[in-house]
Amino acid sequence: MTRHGTDGTPNLALDPNMKPGENRDGRPRAMTIAGSDSGGGAGIQADLKTFSALGVYGTSVVTAVTAQDTKGVYAIAEVPDEVVIAQIDVVLEDIGADAVKTGMLSSRSIIENVTDRLEAWGIPHLVVDPVMVAKGGARLLQPTAVEAMKGTLLPHAEIVTPNIPEAEVLAGFAIASDGDARRAAIAIHGLGPRFVVIKGGHRDGSPDDLVYDGERFVRFSTDRVVTDNTHGTGCTFAAAITALLARGVSPMDAIAGAKAFVTRALLASYAIGAGHSPVNHQFGTEGIDLLPGLLAGGDVRRLDETVAAT
């Protein structure tokens, strides 16, 4: 496709020999296709913070805009399908992506169009976070879109990361035991993804994640972090997997690393707002204060001028 400037004239490539999406300097790149969380704790905002924290250049495709804070979701506006498609195409043509994560894809048509474009661009790694309901209970996936997710998107996924309620919808039955979780993982794997991660945060006891790759089960276990600051944990987990895949980490190691990242982000979280506060995506740089260096004056020359009175 040819990109055009605001005046309608074609933009000329800086390097006419570059291929679409070619990586200039080898820096890993990841794309998130999801909804915007105006409170900054989940969705696109959480994904970009996670990409940055893990050393990956992040790009975004906004599928919906929400009026949201730590207490709930108050309004949702879907982005028109043609704008979602355009975001994917222009970014992948120019910048490319080593891995892509999908989050809130609220309608059947958005799911179908996103799948079509990612298939056309040949994305090497796709992580699907099957977002269905917000932390406060707001529905983020239309009922008619569930079948599209199962039949259209999941066959292209490398990794899918449902929590227990989402896994119940995808598998078609309730999960009340470890045996149920294993049966659900097998059923969801049958929909096409290479790896199924059933997250354990909604279950009592240790928040173990169950991973199934079609041949074996692997359980990743951590101690539960007791906190109310859990907003955006699912988005952050899937985004961390995506970032690590973009950096060349194997799928199993990426899942383990992402769980460690979320655990540390929970441990370093702090209360902000009156509801469920988000995890702390910047825990690794908390002790680094850039302000003194920025104000020291070494990078910028100040030239005071005297203006003569007229």
Q: Give me the active site residues, please.
A: 199, 230, 232-235
Residue 78's SS3 state is: strand
Residue 252's SS3 state is: helix
CA distances from 185 to 188, 197, 214, 235, 255 (A): 5, 8, 9, 20, 15
One-letter amino acid at 57 equals Y
Q: Can you tell me the distance from the alpha carbon of 160 to that of 193, in angstroms, rounded to the nearest whole number?
A: 7
**Six-digit token string for 308:** 């003569």
Region of residue 28 (left: phi > 0; alpha: psi -120 to 50; beta: else): beta
- Judge whether 184 and 175 are in contact, CB under 8 Å: yes
* CA-wise closest residue to 206 among 179, 178, 182: 178
Residue 111's SS3 state is: helix
- Judge whether 58 and 86 are in contact, CB under 8 Å: no
- Judge whether 175 and 164 are in contact, CB under 8 Å: yes
